[in-house]
Amino acid sequence: MLALMAVAEIIQFVRRRANNATDETVWACIRRAAMLLIAAVMVLTPSVVAPTTSRAINATDVIVAVDTTGSMAVEDAHYGSDETISRIAAARKAVHDITASYGDASFAALHFGASGTLDVPLTPDAPAIDNWADTLAVESTSVSSGSNLDAPINQLLVTAKSIRDAHPDDAIVLYLITDGEQTSSAARRSFSALRQYVDDGFTVGVGSAEGGRIPVIADGVSAGDSSTTDQWVTDPDTGQPGISKLDEQNLKDIADEISGTYLATNATSTLHGQVSGKASSQWRVTTTAKERTRTVAMVWPLAIAMVLLLAWELGAWITVSRRLL
């Protein structure tokens, strides 16, 4: 529209000049058309792409811990649909919903079987957590020593403390995703020590109360390939395939120990949009090793030219006005 107005200005000037019906000078016409053209370009917001390693992130740090013991290969879970999937597949979906629910937050990810292992230190790179979730694998039957729910406690304490020391004003939220099954004969340790570092916490149950048979996972086979076997882990007491069941009571007890909440996942319940009420509303600027790009508007040279033309127009108007006095 502004470009059309510039063309109309020139056409109008030419017509009036031909009929001697204007006192507008050629320079005045050029000046006014130039202002309209510059305004048209400024509206398009010309920009350049600049590299940066800094970004503003939300002061919420989310720790995600996922159970990868053999029972997580049982295919009795539902996650937002009637489709039956493995527990580890439901856990992957839950992780994706967590990262999507906390926009611009930071995340740390760990898995636990015989022990807890920190796989991804605290990072604002949510896609890295999603990629980690996609590669989660249930530990092979040959190295599995059963389910011990307190296996991640030591690593969780170290991780949560390091985050609290580095960012004392951040809100730390913990998600523990597991079937809640405890098969170890040893008494489970309490998670209550985490309360000094964690502002809020959730235990997330995957699986069903009816349970299912535990497939034998061969060395080098991922969790998603568990359905390719016809062999099942046997119960040493009965000699029959063992049945693993979701233990909601254990998960509710752990949630109480961290002053958190138990969340069940099933055909109608997921973690989509379920954000902790204690998530921070503050922001901080951080520098990351990963270089990002941002678009920066470059209109200031055009703005300078526009100011000069406007000053010229004002000066010409004042000169003409004085002549008419």
* pLDDT at residue 324 greater than cutoff 70: no
β-strand partners of 65: 110, 176
Q: Tell me, what's the pLDDT at 288?
A: 62
Q: Tell me, what's the pLDDT at 253?
A: 97
Write out pLDDT tens, residues 276-305: 999 998 887 766 656 667 677 788 888 888
Residues in contact with 298: Cβ distance below 8 Å, sequence separation at least 6, in sequence order: 46, 47, 48
Q: Tell me, what's the pLDDT at 223?
A: 47
- Specify the higher pLDDT residue, 177 or 147: 177
Query: Is residue 94 very low, low, confident or very high in pLDDT (cuts 50, 70, 90)?
Result: very high
Cβ-contact 122, 108 below 8 angstroms: yes
| 40 alpha carbon, distance to own chain's centre | 38
Q: Tell me, what's the pLDDT at 157?
A: 98
Domain regions of the chain by residue span: 2-46+298-324, 54-285
Q: How far apart are CA 91 and CA 265, in angstroms?
A: 9
- Print burial letters for 46-63: b (CB count within 10 Å at least 16), e (below 16): eeeeeeeeeeebbbbbbb
Beta-sheet pairing, 106-112 with 60-67:
parallel
Q: Show the 3-state SS of 215-246.
A: ECCCCCCCHHHHHHCCCECECCCCCCECEECC
* Residue written as token pair 């359905």: 227
Integer-rounded Cα Rg, in Å, for the chain is 32
Q: How far apart are CA 62 and CA 201, in angstroms?
A: 9
CATH class of segment(s) 54-285: alpha beta
Mind giving me the DSSP string for 108-175?
A: EEEEESSSEEEEEEEES-HHHHHHHHHT--PPPTTT-----TTTTHHHHHHHHHHHHHH-TTSEEEEE
Q: How far apart are CA 148 and CA 96, in angstroms?
A: 25
Question: What are φ and ψ of residue 204, in 5° steps?
Answer: -115, 120
* Cα dihedral: 113, 119, 122, 124 (round 10): -120
Q: How far apart are CA 125 and CA 104, in angstroms?
A: 8
Q: Tell me, what's the pLDDT at 29?
A: 85
* pLDDT at residue 128 greater than cutoff 80: yes
Sign of CA dihedral 187, 191, 192, 194: positive
Query: Is residue 45 very low, low, confident or very high in pLDDT (cuts 50, 70, 90)?
Result: confident
Mind giving me the DSSP string for 271-283?
A: -TT---TT----E
* Average pLDDT for 93-122: 95
Distances (CA, A) of 61 to 102, 103, 107, 252, 325: 9, 11, 6, 23, 72
Percent of the chain at pLDDT > 90 equals 52
